[in-house]
Amino acid sequence: MHMKTIGIIVFILGILTVFVYTAFTYLWALAGISIPYPLMGKSDSFGLFSLMTPPIGAMLMILGGLIYGKKKEVIK
């Protein structure tokens, strides 16, 4: 696969990660249901994952942009 294709895939994965987290948080709040997992206080893995989801998505978008913009230089 070309580096540009891999960069686009990683970038889209980051977008989807942030979108899914934001959409589900908004839908839970819209329905009036309290968040079903603790954000702080307990050290369970799901709570920690939900807390780290937006930064992971942002990192994937940055990484995808760096991979996409990487250029090969050919020395003749």
pLDDT-derived band at 58, boundaries 50, 70, 90: very high
Note the pLDDT tens digit of each residue in 2-36.
888 999 999 999 999 999 888 887 887 788 776 65
- Model pTM? 0.70
Where do the structural domains in the chain lie, given as residue ranges? 3-69
Which residue type sits at 75? I
